[in-house]
Amino acid sequence: MASDIAHVQAFLLAANEATSPANTGNKTLTSRWYNGLLTLVRITFTLGSISIAVIDCADIIMISLESVNENTPFVISMVQMFWVTFYESRSASVLALFTWCHLARWRALRTFVRAKMMEPLNHRNAKQSSDIRRLSWMLFLISFGLRASNMAFSWLQTEGLLEDPKNFSLNLTSCYSWFDRCVSRETFILVETFLVDWPFILSQQVLISGLIFVWIALKSMRKLRREVATNLTVTSSDEVPSSERIENWTLSYVNMSRFVQYFNGCFGRILLVSVGLDVLTVLGVCAKLLASGKTLSMMIWLRYAWVSVIFLSYATICYLPFILLHEESLKLDRILRDFAWTLNGHGEERSIVTKEEISADLTALQEKVNKLSLIVKENPLTIEAGGLFQFSRTSLVTIVTTVVTALLLTKEILNRSMPARF
């Protein structure tokens, strides 16, 4: 069943759709009520996240206008103040795009993955389903743990326990400032958990589901590449793969190319928003560290450093499966090119075809290999973020160098503004 794929993420995102046979009135009504409830859950968390992001953004703007820090350039001051709203906006944007724009595409993509990426592996289909379930749980627990660590740091800082850990006290704050209002600890925790932290975790599950889809395609791609590579070991024309096998290879790659097309249509804008806001969050946190200098305690400094590392990882190494899928297609392109040369008698020390052996069947086989090679060459498996950039090793290096360059520029601006401070 398609529901086996990313089943934890589908459950948390309320993305599963109840279906019922035709002409079953009560069951159809129950399914409609169930689907309506799931829709209400999705909309509730999405609207709650959007509301918090908008209110928080307006609150920070008011604070920045009332208390302008003359010692810090205005742009840097705004970036370091807005870092919280960046990841809140990330949650709201990802959930909004998923709920209102791409949910139907997500369901269709999951069905396509089950039908085209997994069914060809019937001999170990049960084991693969088990592996996918295990991966789904593992990625959820990792994402939850990372967010929980940030929540813990945030709460300790709110209580003032990160300022001076030596003076630890159980006399916790009784009044929490939330949008210039004093609220109780219970209210503060409830609002922060369900309107800030949980929507962020849900937005992570949207991205994790995409990673699982790509992971399945990556395994299928590796299987195809290894099968093609195995046929490079032939030593005579009698061992050349059949035309039917090459047609199966072509069909498999075409399905993978279609998967990438559907994936980009479903996740393209989501990835663009996510990566962009993750990078802005990193810049905001690091700008705060640079602007604060030595005024922060060691524990608070470590908290901000941990947050910057997490969000930089979200924007880079978390998308490693996308890069590996792209590189697998490039490897297959090279293998097919070598295979075509070997088949035509131009392989290195493995000339398996002579002029006497050329026949009509072998000529047709060569044409099919050349056709497959052309398809792979012209249709690399490249995941795109909104059509603006492609996930590759180069893109990851570009993101990291952009962050480092921006931080160096920030440091230079702060250094130049130092004489004005004294």
pLDDT in tens, 195-218: 888 999 999 999 999 999 999 999
- Flag whether pLDDT at 125 surpasses 90: no
Poorest-pLDDT segment among 227-231, 238-242, 328-332, 374-378: 238-242
3-state SS, 272-300, equals HHHHHHHHHHHHHHHHHHHHHHHHCCHHH
Closest among 141, 137, 139, 86 to 307, alpha carbons compared: 86
Query: What distance in Å separates the CA atoms of residue 255 and residue 381, rounded to the nearest whole number?
Result: 11
Residue 422 has pLDDT above 50, yes or no: no
CA-CA distance, 126 to 321, in Å (whole number)?
A: 23
Q: How many helices (H) and strands (E) does the chain have?
A: 13, 4
Compute the mean pLDDT over every residue in the chain, rounded to the nearest whole number.
80
More reliable by pLDDT, 97 or 33:
97
pLDDT for residue 288 is more than 80: yes
**Is residue 422 helix, strand or coil?**
coil
| 404 and 283 Cβ atoms separated by less than 8 Å | no
By DSSP bridging, strand 182-183 and strand 384-385 are unpaired
Using DSSP, state whether 389 is helix, strand or coil.
Answer: strand
Nearest C-alpha neighbor of 14 from the set 111, 95, 93: 95
- Note the pLDDT of residue 292: 77
HEC-encoded secondary structure of 182-236: EECHHHHHHHHHHHHHHHHHHHHHHHHHHHHHHHHHHHHHHHHHHHHHHHHHCCC
What is the value of pTM for the model shown?
0.86
Task: Give all strands (DSSP E) within 64-220, no chain letters.
Answer: 176-177, 182-183
- In this predicted structure, the answer to whether residue 169 has a pLDDT above a threshold of 60 is no
Give pLDDT, residue 328: 93
How far is residue 215 from each of residues 108, 218, 269, measured CA to CA in Å? 17, 5, 20
Q: Is 176 helix (H, G, I), strand (E, B) or coil?
A: strand
CA angle 128, 147, 55 (to 5 degrees): 125
Residue-level pLDDT at 349: 46
The DSSP bridge partners found for residue 385 are: 389
pLDDT digits (tens, 9 = 90+) for 309-330: 999 999 999 999 999 999 999 9
